[in-house]
Amino acid sequence: MATGKAVRPIIVIKKKVGGAGHHGGAWKVAYADFMTAMMSLFIVLWLLNTTPQIKKAVAGYFNDPSSSYKETGTKVLGSGESVSIDQKNVQDLKEQIEKAILRQTDLSKLSKQIEITMTGEGLRIELIEDKGGTFFESGSAKLSESGVKLLSLLADQLKVLPNHLLIEGHTDAQPYSGGNAGYSNWELSSDRANSARRLLQDDGLRQDQISQVRGFADQSLRVPSNPLDPSNRRISLIVQWAEAPDSAKADATSGDAEKTKADGTANPQAEGATAATTSPAPSGKTAAAPAETSTPPIVPAQTAPAIATPKPPAAKATWSQRIVAMIPGKKK
């Protein structure tokens, strides 16, 4: 049966509910920005509390990343702090170098040809040659493979120090017979020392860290009784002692002076007073014996200038006195 009315379709509205907030990726961007800001903050706080050497190294890295390690003297991560070597901590450096050499299997067998001693100039590290030439090619200033490895190892240990270095070259008494006219043991010893200097600086030593390069030829033999002994051919690296600051020297000098006065061994004032009370005998007359001498002449002491005594400050009025003085008719 037709009713004449159109049947209205049933419309079903379905609402799609999105995923929870944690399923989105926007928070990751915000979290990454937060972590970057925190890392930058910690880097700034770290730089504010580091040494000037590290600050210089960081600045050098951004200027030239390939050579910034030379600012701190190391290519590896670390503090890069410089510690001066003196008589107190030199034993630690000596043991550190010896352990580093023994860790290298190809250099540990050469430990007998490496001598480390303490001298008046500083810590002396000597690379002693043998008959066939260990660290340099025979009759040449060219470094051998062992010499390059050992000097590179020493550079890693020494480049972080603020101490200056001396490099010495020595030969034996055998005259140079390389066929080069005018070339002698003097040139050979100097050239070997310079070869060591170039390699050390290429491996990180500062340009101003090496203060002297010396060539001694055969004038400073290690074995004077045998001038032709192969051990006379050697290279010496000397780590000079760190100099005490001027303030420390001044304190030490003043302390010695006070100690001398306290002991009574030398007191300039006492000596001056004795000299003032002693009157020399006139020329041509014999001085009287001490027993017959009358009272020695009294030398008038110099009158010290009068010191003006400062007047004591006027007493401040109390608060009650100030109030009374402000009342009209109470002023005198």
Does some domain include residue 274?
Answer: no
pLDDT at 238: 94
Q: Are residues 105 and 62 in the same domain?
A: no
Does some domain include residue 262?
Answer: no
Torsion of CA 262, 265, 269, 272, to 10 degrees: 170
Does some domain include residue 217?
Answer: yes
Does some domain include residue 251?
Answer: no
| pLDDT band (50, 70, 90) for residue 193 | very high
Structural domain boundaries enclosing 198 = 90-243
pTM (2 d.p.):
0.51
- Tokens (6 digits) for 294: 């009358």
Q: Are residues 55 and 113 in the same domain?
A: no
Q: Are residues 42 and 101 in the same domain?
A: no
pLDDT at 67: 52
| pLDDT band (50, 70, 90) for residue 278 | very low
Q: Distance (Å, rounded) from C-alpha 116 to C-alpha 97? A: 9
Q: Distance (Å, rounded) from C-alpha 232 to C-alpha 129? A: 8
pLDDT tens figures, 194-206: 999 999 999 889 9
Of residues 254 and 64, more confidence is placed in 64
Q: Which of 213, 233, 214 is nearest to 222 (CA)?
A: 233
Q: Are residues 125 and 51 in the same domain?
A: no
Of residues 145 and 321, more confidence is placed in 145
Does some domain include residue 210?
Answer: yes
Fill in the DSSP letter of residue 208: T
Pairing state between β 114-118 and 122-128? antiparallel
Q: Are residues 97 and 238 in the same domain?
A: yes
Q: Which of 107, 232, 121, 209 is nearest to 161 (CA)?
A: 209
Q: Are residues 102 and 59 in the same domain?
A: no
- Residue 155 pLDDT greater than 80, yes or no: yes
pLDDT at 77: 36
Q: Are residues 110 and 172 in the same domain?
A: yes
Domain boundary among 243, 272, 302: 243
Does some domain include residue 257?
Answer: no
Of residues 103 and 173, more confidence is placed in 173
Q: Which residues of 24-52 are buried (b: 16+ CB within 10 A; e: fewer)?
A: eeeeeeeeeeeeeeeeeeeeeeeeeeeee
Determine contact, residues 110/133, Cβ cutoff 8 Å: no
- Residue 37 pLDDT greater than 70, yes or no: yes
Q: Are residues 60 and 94 in the same domain?
A: no
pLDDT at 126: 93
pLDDT at 128: 93
Q: Are residues 98 and 41 in the same domain?
A: no
Q: Are residues 66 and 100 in the same domain?
A: no
Does some domain include residue 114?
Answer: yes
Q: What percentage of residues in the chain have a pLDDT greater than 90?
A: 28
Q: Are residues 130 and 45 in the same domain?
A: no
- Tokens (6 digits) for 189: 């010893």
pLDDT tens figures, 215-251: 999 999 999 999 999 899 999 999 998 764 444 444 4
Among left, alpha and beta (phi > 0; psi -120 to 50; other), residue 178 is: alpha
Does some domain include residue 263?
Answer: no
The CATH number assigned to the domain holding 155 equals 3.30.1330.60
Structurally, how many domains does the chain consist of? 2
Of residues 66 and 301, more confidence is placed in 66
Q: Give the position of tokens 């040494």.
A: 51
Q: Are residues 117 and 224 in the same domain?
A: yes
